[in-house]
Amino acid sequence: MPKVDMKEIKFPPRRNTRSVWVGRVEIGASAPISIQSMLSVPLTSLDSAIAQARALGEAGCDIIRVAVPDKRSVPFLREFRQAVDLPLVADIHFDYRLAIASAEAGVDKLRVNPGNIGSRDKVAAVAEAAASFNIPIRIGVNAGSLPPDLIERPDRAQAMLVAALREIEAVESTGFSNLVVSLKSHDVPTTILANRMFSRVSDIPLHLGVTEAGSVESGSIKNALGIGALILDGIGDTVRVSLTGDPIEEVTAARGILRACGRYSKGIEIISCPTCGRTKVDVASVVREIERRLRFCDKPLKVAVMGCEVNGPGEAREADIGFAGTADGFVVFERGKIRPPKIPSKDAIESIVAIVEEAASIIDNRKIEP
C-alpha cells in the first residue's frame, strides 16, 4: 500500500480574526460560528415581523437582519427592538440618515455598502454613530452591485476584493475599525475565491453566504458548497444561507451545513440509508417526518434510521439511538445495544419521536458545546 503522509492531509486551522460583538453574540476570534437570517416581512407589518423574529430565534437563529428602507420604518424599528431580544442588524442602502436613525433605535449592527452611501462625509457620519453606540458595521460587497469601474472586470472575485478593500479603507480612514465584511455572489466559485483572497489580506471577520442562491432546494446546495468549502478551509465567522422561501429554512440549512462541517454540535443529526431492494419499511416517510418534528431540538444526538437488518444494525450501533427496519417494524438500538421492545410499523413515527425526545430530555444543557 502506498505510504500517505497524514500530517500533510488535514484541514487548515480556523483563521484568526479580530473580535466583534453584535449585542450578546461575538463574531470572529474563537467564537462559535453564528447563524443569521433576515426577516422576509416588512417592519411596518409589526406583529408579523415580531412573530417571524421569535420563530427564527426558536429555530436557532443567533442574529436577525431587518431591512430599513425608508423613514417610515424607523418608528416600527424602535417598537420591534423593544419586543425582540435577539441581536438585530439594520440593513441600509443609499440613505446614511437611516443608518444613524437605526443606531439610535437600538440595533446591534449596521449593514451598509459605503459605495452606495455616498460621500466620505456621509460614511464618516455613519461610522461616528456606530462608534457612539459601540456597534459594528458590516460592509457587504455583492458581485451584482460593484462600482462602475469594477463591474466590467473579467475576474469577478478580484473585483469584489478590490471593492471590499476600498470600502474598508473609506470606513477605517474615519478611525472606525469595528467591522465585519461579506463578499457574496450568486456564483459559488466566485464567492469561494473572493473570500479566500480576502482572508489572506485582512483580519476582519467574514460573514459568509452565497447570495440570490435560488429556491430552498437549489439554494441550499449552492450554500452548502460555498459556505462548506470555506468553513473547512478555516474561513468564516458567521453565516447566512440566502434562500427564496421561509427564512426558517435558511436557519435549518445553516445548522445543517455547519453540523456537516463539524462546526455545530447542537441538534439532531439523522443518519439514514438510501434504501434498496432489501428495504422492508417506508424509511423515506419516517425520516422526512421525524426530521420535521425534531428539527428545533437543540440537544446533540445522532439518530440512525436504516431500512433493513443487513447493514442496519451496524450503522444503528454507531449512533446514540438507532432504528433498523424489519418486515414488521423497527428494532431499536441504544448506544449499541438492542433495546426491546420492537416498534410496530404502524406506530413508527410516534414511537421514534418519543424515544428521541426522551433521550434528548436527559442531556444536560450545560454539557452542550456551542
Window 127-146: residues binding ligand SF4 (CB under 6 A): none
Q: Is 308 in the site for ligand SF4 (CB under 6 A)?
A: yes
Given candidates 44, 177, 279, 326, which one binds ligand SF4 under the rule CB under 6 A? 279
Cβ proximity to ligand SF4: between 128 and 315 the closer is 315
Closest distance of CB 34 from ligand SF4, Å: 36
State the DSSP H helix or E strand holding residue 334, giving kind and residue range, or none if neither.
strand 329-334
**Per rule CB under 6 A, count of chain residues that contact ligand SF4:** 12
Q: What are phi and psi of 230, to 5 degrees?
A: -70, -45
Which range of residues in 178-186, 187-195, 292-300, 309-317 is near ligand SF4 by CB under 6 A?
A: 309-317
321-326 vs 329-334, strand pairing mode:
antiparallel
Which range of residues in 144-152, 207-215, 304-312, 358-366 is near ligand SF4 by CB under 6 A?
A: 304-312
Cα 63 to the center of its chain, rounded Å: 10
Given candidates 71, 120, 278, 346, which one binds ligand SF4 under the rule CB under 6 A? 278
Q: Is 228 in the site for ligand SF4 (CB under 6 A)?
A: no
Cβ proximity to ligand SF4: between 31 and 338 the closer is 338
CA distance 204 to 15: 10
Cβ proximity to ligand SF4: between 271 and 363 the closer is 271
Between the CA of residue 339 and those of 331, 345, 357, what are the distances in Å?
8, 16, 16
Q: Is 311 in the site for ligand SF4 (CB under 6 A)?
A: yes
Given candidates 22, 306, 331, 355, which one binds ligand SF4 under the rule CB under 6 A? 306
Closest distance of CB 236 from ligand SF4, Å: 34
Which range of residues in 4-12, 65-73, 220-228, 267-275 is near ligand SF4 by CB under 6 A?
A: 267-275
Closest distance of CB 308 from ligand SF4, Å: 3
Q: In this structure, are residues 176 and 147 in contact, taking their beta carbons and an 8 Å threshold?
A: no
Q: Is 275 in the site for ligand SF4 (CB under 6 A)?
A: yes
For 166, the 3-state DSSP assignment is: helix
Cβ proximity to ligand SF4: between 13 and 274 the closer is 274
The cell for 294 is: 425534531
271: β partners: 304
Cβ proximity to ligand SF4: between 51 and 276 the closer is 276
Q: Is 312 in the site for ligand SF4 (CB under 6 A)?
A: yes
Q: What are phi and psi of 104, to 5 degrees?
A: -65, -30
The two counts, helices (H) then strands (E), for the chain are: 13, 16
State the Cα torsion 213-216-222-226 to the nearest 10°. 90
Which range of residues in 106-114, 124-132, 241-249, 306-314 is near ligand SF4 by CB under 6 A?
A: 306-314
Q: Locate cell 417610515: which residue?
A: 72
CA distance 308 to 323: 9
Question: How many residues belong to the chain?
Answer: 370
Cβ proximity to ligand SF4: between 75 and 313 the closer is 313
Cβ proximity to ligand SF4: between 95 and 269 the closer is 269
CA distance 122 to 124: 5
* Residue 158: burial class (beta carbons within 10 Å; 0-12, 13-18, 19+): middle
Q: In this structure, are residues 300 and 320 in contact, taking their beta carbons and an 8 Å threshold?
A: no
Closest distance of CB 343 from ligand SF4, Å: 17
Q: Is 239 in the site for ligand SF4 (CB under 6 A)?
A: no
List residues binding ligand SF4 (CB under 6 A).
Answer: 273-276, 278-279, 306-308, 310-312
